[in-house]
């Protein structure tokens, strides 16, 4: 049975983001899969990594603290709960809006704390040798800006680039990452005809989302360089392809 973890970052379940996450849950269950949810805001997840989360915080090297807590079974309960859901999942689907040209801070904090050194990755188990090669991640993202503004030449910046650091975080863990699903022009400022048209467009999108979940295993994936594309200094080899503007030939 396919197990899906839905991670949602939004203060309100009745938002478009919340409705979209609900649709992921309904569609996943209707296909016979299991679903777990992390509604980070509603759950009160603490996204700030800090000294007093750890019993042995001598010197407070965060990676060492995380590793020690992983080795000694002292990972904070709220983080352990998130790790268990993540480890059990084949699919990890994150639902969030773009806030200030990136995911909301609580998503970053969830990564900082849950994707802990030791328990989730080590210096030997990352990228091609990451522990989570059995998992595929999908981002379902809304923007207030219009599609043209979020295009590679749009003034809001290419939304796919804004999402790249988060995608690479999961790539670091070894996960496959599907190309993101992005819905643009989501906000409550429209009035009259424009409001009605937006609501109809968003409702149609939610209805069509079933097919995305049904076809999940065939979704196109983001391209990342393989480990062997980099030399001993970690630089892209001249003969290796550049598959993202974040890592290019100079």
Q: Cβ(212)–Cβ(171) under 8 Å?
A: no
Question: Residue 215, class by beta-carbon neighbours within 10 Å (0-12 exposed, 13-18 middle, 19+ buried)?
Answer: exposed
Q: Which of 17, 23, 38, 66 binds ligand FMN (CB under 6 A)?
A: 17
Distance CA 34, CA 177 (A): 20
Q: Does 181 bind ligand FMN (CB under 6 A)?
A: no
DSSP code of residue 223:
P
Q: For 153, which DSSP code? A: T
Give the one residue of 5, 6, 9, 16 binding ligand FMN; rule: CB under 6 A.
16
If one asks whether residue 38 binds ligand FMN (CB under 6 A), the answer comes out as: no
Cβ-closest residue to ligand FMN? 144
The reply on whether position 23 binds ligand FMN by CB under 6 A is no
The size of the chain, in residues, is 250
Torsion of CA 70, 74, 78, 80, to 10 degrees: 40
Cα 30–chain centre separation: 23
Does residue 24 belong to the site contacting ligand FMN (CB under 6 A)?
no
> Least distance (Å) from ligand FMN to the CB of residue 38?
17
Whole-angstrom Cα distance, residue 145 to residue 153?
13
Identify which of residues 95 and 121 has a Cβ nearer to ligand FMN in the complex: 95
Tell me the window of 32-40, 136-144, 193-201, 222-230 that interacts with ligand FMN (CB under 6 A).
136-144
Residue 206 · residue 191 · CB < 8 Å: no
Residue 17 Cβ vs ligand FMN, minimum distance, rounded to whole Å = 3
Of 186, 212, 213, 222, the one binding ligand FMN (CB under 6 A) is 186
Q: How far is the CB of 241 from ligand FMN (least distance, A)?
A: 30
According to CB under 6 A, which residues from 51 to 110 bind ligand FMN? 97-101
Which residue, among 122, 137, 130, has the nearest Cα to 176 in the 3D structure? 137
* Residue 246 touches ligand FMN, criterion: CB under 6 A: no
Nearest to 217 by CA among 28, 38, 88: 28
> Applying CB under 6 A, does 142 fall inside the site for ligand FMN?
yes
Q: Please identify, using beta-carbon distances, which residue of 34 and 144 lies nearer to ligand FMN.
A: 144
Residue 143 binds ligand FMN, judged by CB under 6 A: yes
Residues that bind ligand FMN (CB under 6 A): 10, 15-17, 97-101, 142-145, 156, 186-187
């Amino acid at each position: 049975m396919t197990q899906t973890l839905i991670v949602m970052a939004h203060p309100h379940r009745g938002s478009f983001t919340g409705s979209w996450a609900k649709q992921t849950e309904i569609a996943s269950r209707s296909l016979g899969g299991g679903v777990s949810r992390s509604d980070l805001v509603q759950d009160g997840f603490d996204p700030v990594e800090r000294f007093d989360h750890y019993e042995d915080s001598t010197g407070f090297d965060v990676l060492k603290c995380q590793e020690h807590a992983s080795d000694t079974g002292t990972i904070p309960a709220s983080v352990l709960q998130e790790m268990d859901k993540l480890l059990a999942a084949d699919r990890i689907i994150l639902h969030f809006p773009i806030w200030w040209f990136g995911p909301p801070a609580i998503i970053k904090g969830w990564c900082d704390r849950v994707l802990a050194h030791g328990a989730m990755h080590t210096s030997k188990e990352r990228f091609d040798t990451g522990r989570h090669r059995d998992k595929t991640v999908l981002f379902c993202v809304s923007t207030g800006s219009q599609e043209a503004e979020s295009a590679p030449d749009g003034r809001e910046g290419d939304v796919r680039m804004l999402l790249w650091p988060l995608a690479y975080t999961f790539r670091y863990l070894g996960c496959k990452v599907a190309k993101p699903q992005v819905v643009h022009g989501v906000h409550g400022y429209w009035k009259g005809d424009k409001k009605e048209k937006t609501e109809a467009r968003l409702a149609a999108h939610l209805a069509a989302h079933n097919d995305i979940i049904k076809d999940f295993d065939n979704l196109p994936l983001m391209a990342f360089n393989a480990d062997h594309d980099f030399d001993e200094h970690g630089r892209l080899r001249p003969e290796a392809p550049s598959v993202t503007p974040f890592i290019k030939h100079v």
